Structure 1
Amino acid sequence: MANNLGQKIKRLRQEHNLTLKELSGKTDLSTGFLSQLERGLTTVAVDALERIAKALGVDITYFFAFPWKLHGEITRSYEKQLIQYDQGSHFINYLLSGNLDGKQLFPRQVELLPGGKKRNDVSLYSHKGEEFIYVVEGILSLVLKSGVHELFPGDCAHFSSEIPHNWINNTSRKVVLLVVNTPNPFEETLEKS
């Protein structure tokens, strides 16, 4: 998935006759990061992807392929849509709603596999809105500006997404999270379609 995303970004950048340096200037993202992203070697946060989409003149939903028409209030466990898989960062992201049309919330199931980023490798990021995280399985290290917080199954965190944050799995077992963001980054596009 990450490589497909990177290929789409590179194709759009080249169609706009932009160099990596020029795209970097429009997005405030480093050329090294953008190069890794285009080659599928890293993942991107929603806020950074929004900046890339804006700089390339597309909506953020351009980068996601939804294979079925979104409808209905119920999403069965077997209908979860894989929206991001990055082998390099050991990160799997599933969409938990079959209907984002006009919705404020963006619910996801996130799986952090062992062997991903370590504490020293994590950079904090922020974006508009609020974030709610519920630990379903494993032990999550939630990194906030205030410090590192270990969250266990049943623990949760609710904070302004404008607070610099990130998360990591420092264990040898999978971490499964229920993550809900607001605002929904897909809301505007789905209302227009």
Structure 2
Amino acid sequence: MDKELGIKIKTLRTSKNFTLKDLSEKTNLSIGYISQLERGLTSAAISTLNNIAKVLEVDLSYFFSVYKEDNKRIIRSYEQKVTLVRDPLYIYYSLANRGECKDFTPALVNLLPTIDASEETLPYSHDGEEFIYVLEGILTLFIGDVRHDLYPGDSYHISSNTPHNWCNYTSKLVKILTINSKYNF
């Protein structure tokens, strides 16, 4: 239950001169449910909040707070931003605020299945170090000319000066956590 969320909904609703009944009719949610939500007595699914946001003409992000404590930033899962789409088989999501994370870059990477597995994956190098942790699927990792298959829970840490690359030769999505030093996406 989130009282802050309820206060935001009620404040926005009343600023638009909507009654509980008006919002209920426009969202197909019961008056009782909206009342409980505004008082912080119940929680709401993202789809419900998205419905309320559309009716109240705000972006869904309006309902979520970014908390700061001691110059650290909490990035909520719904705040992750796509920072890079490569090849278009690799989708990088930033897991840290760029302004506050200067020494390393953590990212969640979704690797879509490679359509043509016969296409050569060329290793490359860059400055810094790289850590990879497989969350889901089977990641094919190339270190120089050597191929390694990494499974969920497997990890690898290398000097990024070593020629390397990775890809997804399966038919399912691969998700990895990668942390790089001296390399921004």
If the length of structure 1 is used for normalisation, what is the TM-score? 0.55
Which residue of structure 2 aligns with residue 179 of structure 1? 178
Q: Quote how far apart the aligned CAs of 1:80 are.
A: 0.5
If the length of structure 2 is used for normalisation, what is the TM-score? 0.57
RMSD: 2.5
Whether 1:97 and 2:96 are equivalent positions in the alignment is yes
Which residue of structure 2 aligns with residue 74 of structure 1? 74
Q: Is the Cα contact below 8 Å between 2:127 and 2:182 reproduced in 1?
A: yes
In structure 1, the gaps of 5 or more residues are 1-70, 187-193
* Equivalent position SS for 1:78: helix
Q: Give aligned-pair identity as a percent.
A: 42
In structure 2, the gaps of 5 or more residues are 1-70
Which residue of structure 2 aligns with residue 19 of structure 1? none
Give me the whole-angstrom Cα distance separating, in 1, the residues matched to 2:101 and 2:169: 37
Q: Quote how far apart the aligned CAs of 1:161 are.
A: 0.3
Give me the whole-angstrom Cα distance separating, in 2, the residues matched to 1:143 and 1:155: 14
Shift in alpha-carbon separation, 1:168–1:77, aligned structure 2, 3 A: same
Taking the TM superposition and a 5 Å limit, the aligned residue runs for 1:23-42 are: none
The CA deviation string for residues 15-49 of structure 1, in whole angstroms up to 9 with x for no partner, is xxxxxxxxxxxxxxxxxxxxxxxxxxxxxxxxxxx
Give me the whole-angstrom Cα distance separating, in 2, the residues matched to 1:117 and 1:96: 30
Letter in 2 for 1:143: F
Q: Quote how far apart the aligned CAs of 1:157 are.
A: 0.3
Which residue of structure 1 aligns with residue 165 of structure 2? 166
Give me the whole-angstrom Cα distance separating, in 2, the residues matched to 1:185 and 1:115: 24
Larger helix proportion of the pair:
1
Which residue of structure 2 aligns with residue 17 of structure 1? none
Letter in 2 for 1:79: E
Q: Which structure would you say has the larger Rg?
A: 2
Which residue of structure 2 aligns with residue 42 of structure 1? none
Which residue of structure 1 aligns with residue 83 of structure 2? 83
Letter in 1 for 2:128: G
Q: Is the Cα contact below 8 Å between 2:114 and 2:167 reproduced in 1?
A: no
Give me the whole-angstrom Cα distance separating, in 1, the residues matched to 2:118 and 2:157: 21
* Equivalent position SS for 2:93: strand
Q: Quote how far apart the aligned CAs of 1:90 are.
A: 1.5
